[in-house]
């Protein structure tokens, strides 16, 4: 298991420029994630409201009549999945692109990020999500946002609390399982070849298809908290924190122990692990060590692929002349000169 737990506390690691950029990436990523997704929910509701007025002639569209169709579930699910995909592509090289406290908690549990830095990630993710929903509140019509409580999650009346809990648990487990397989396992990262965000986005999309009609699909405590904080409705909020946090760690374990445990001798990291962006000074040192001077010029290669400088290869004929010039005895009967004639 990676040794992020064993790292000593360092002010530079948690408050240095690299760390601050990572916090800013998680904050801005969550801001745009919630602004887009809750915006889609509100805009879709507004479109349904206008369609209802046109077709029925009624002036009032009751929020209680808001029964999402299959096509609407697919639309919202696609918005969540695509948003995560494009935002992970955008910030993964800076912060790892966690964009979910459940993902960060799984990284902490499995030593992929130091606990102190991970806790700061969770705080800035939650703040970014809340600011994103607040912006929706400021820009969308009040009648729409209030009717939907800013996309607040809610449990289907036909479900028990236990059923809802494990739906959120396994939905989050699915997403984190995919993340650990494609963006934490270095072999998965190499196989996906920078396409890990695509797989992660589709995992989020699938989870939303399953869960929107049942629990509203939280699977992201910061997303659930943001809607609750802006709307002021905290019903079952504990469930949307506890189930994803536990489910994310379960999904990570379900991938780590069968496929990664004692199967990473070089202790490499995927893109979402801590150190996705190394210290700039360390990067420059590695680059300087990886310059290899060759006859054709200077070539930079990765530090893990260092090769010794090229040596001049002396043809056999020249070696023969060198030995002959030094007066070394020739091999009788079968020494060969440059022109191919033999000294017999």
Same domain for 134 and 24: yes
> Taking a C-beta distance cutoff of 8 angstroms, is the pair 295, 289 a contact?
no
Same domain for 20 and 127: yes
Same domain for 319 and 218: no
How many percent of the chain have pLDDT more than 90?
49
The structural domain count of the chain equals 2
User: CA–CA separation, 302 vs 290, rounded Å?
Assistant: 6
Q: Is residue 309 part of a domain?
A: no
Q: What is the pLDDT of residue 126?
A: 98
pLDDT interval class at 194 (50, 70, 90): confident
Place of tokens 């992660």: 200
Same domain for 343 and 222: no
**Confidence check: pLDDT of 237 > 80:** yes
Q: What is the pLDDT of residue 190?
A: 67
**Confidence check: pLDDT of 96 > 70:** yes
Domain, as residue range, for 196: 11-277
Q: Is residue 301 part of a domain?
A: no
User: CA–CA separation, 335 vs 330, rounded Å?
Assistant: 7
User: CA–CA separation, 45 vs 148, rounded Å?
Assistant: 8
Q: Is residue 300 part of a domain?
A: no
Same domain for 185 and 100: yes
**Confidence check: pLDDT of 9 > 90:** no
- Helix axes of 115-139 and 221-231: crossing angle, nearest 10 degrees: 40
Same domain for 201 and 332: no
pLDDT interval class at 3 (50, 70, 90): low
Higher pLDDT, 52 or 206: 206
Q: Is residue 169 part of a domain?
A: yes
Average pLDDT over residues 216-224: 96
Same domain for 255 and 327: no
Q: Model confidence over 101-126: pLDDT tens digits?
A: 999 999 999 988 888 899 999 999 99
Same domain for 334 and 271: no
Q: Is residue 322 part of a domain?
A: yes
Q: Model confidence over 245-265: pLDDT tens digits?
A: 999 999 999 998 988 777 665
Higher pLDDT, 112 or 315: 112
198, exposed or middle or buried, with CB in 10 Å at 0-12, 13-18, 19+? middle
User: CA–CA separation, 343 vs 108, rounded Å?
Assistant: 75
Give the mean pLDDT of the chain: 78
Q: Is residue 24 part of a domain?
A: yes
Q: Is residue 40 part of a domain?
A: yes
**Confidence check: pLDDT of 202 > 80:** yes
User: CA–CA separation, 66 vs 50, rounded Å?
Assistant: 13
Same domain for 325 and 269: no
pTM value is 0.76
Q: Model confidence over 37-91: pLDDT tens digits?
A: 999 999 888 777 655 444 444 444 455 555 667 888 999 999 999 999 999 999 9
Same domain for 176 and 89: yes
Q: What is the pLDDT of residue 340?
A: 45
Q: What is the pLDDT of residue 290?
A: 45
Q: Is residue 194 part of a domain?
A: yes
Q: What is the pLDDT of residue 205?
A: 98
CATH classification of the domain holding 86: 1.20.1080.10
Same domain for 273 and 319: no
Instruction: Provide the 10 A C-beta neighbour count for residue 298.
Output: 8
Same domain for 318 and 225: no
Q: What is the pLDDT of residue 323?
A: 47
> Taking a C-beta distance cutoff of 8 angstroms, is the pair 89, 216 a contact?
no
Q: Between vectors from CA 16 to CA 15 and to CA 20, what angle results, nearest 5°? A: 70
Helix (H, G, I), strand (E, B) or coil at 158: coil
Q: Which of 277, 306, 331 is the last residue of a domain?
A: 277
Name the DSSP letter for residue 261: T
């Amino acid at each position: 298991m990676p040794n992020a737990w064993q790292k000593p506390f360092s002010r530079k690691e948690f408050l240095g420029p690299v760390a601050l950029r990572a916090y800013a990436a998680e904050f801005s990523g969550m801001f745009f994630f919630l602004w887009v997704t809750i915006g889609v929910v509100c805009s879709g509701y507004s479109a349904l409201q206008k369609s209802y007025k046109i077709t029925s002639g009624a002036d009032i569209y009751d929020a209680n009549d808001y029964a999402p169709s299959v096509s609407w579930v697919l639309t919202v699910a696609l918005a969540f999945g695509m948003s995560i995909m494009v935002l992970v592509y955008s910030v993964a090289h800076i912060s790892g692109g966690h964009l979910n406290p459940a993902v960060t908690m799984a990284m902490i549990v499995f030593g992929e990020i130091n606990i102190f830095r991970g806790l700061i990630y969770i705080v800035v993710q939650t703040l970014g999500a809340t600011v994103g929903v607040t912006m929706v509140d400021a820009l969308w019509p009040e009648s729409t946002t209030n009717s939907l409580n800013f996309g607040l999650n809610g449990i289907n009346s036909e479900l028990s609390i236990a059923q809802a809990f494990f739906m959120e648990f396994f939905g989050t487990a699915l997403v984190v399982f995919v993340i650990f397989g494609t963006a934490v396992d270095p072999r998965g990262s190499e196989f996906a070849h920078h396409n890990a965000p695509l797989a992660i986005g589709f995992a989020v999309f699938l989870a939303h298809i399953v869960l929107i009609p049942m629990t509203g699909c939280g699977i992201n405590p910061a997303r659930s908290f943001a809607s609750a904080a802006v709307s002021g409705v905290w019903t079952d909020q504990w469930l949307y924190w506890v189930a994803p946090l536990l489910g994310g760690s379960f999904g990570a374990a379900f991938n780590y122990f069968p496929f990664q445990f004692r199967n990473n001798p070089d202790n490499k990291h995927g893109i979402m692990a801590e150190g996705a962006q190394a210290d700039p000074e360390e990067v420059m040192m590695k680059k300087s060590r990886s310059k290899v001077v060759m006859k054709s010029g200077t070539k930079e290669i990765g530090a893990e692929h260092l090769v010794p400088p090229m040596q001049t290869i002396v043809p056999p004929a020249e070696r023969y002349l060198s030995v002959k010039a030094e007066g070394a005895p020739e091999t009788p009967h079968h020494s060969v000169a440059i022109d191919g004639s033999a000294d017999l």
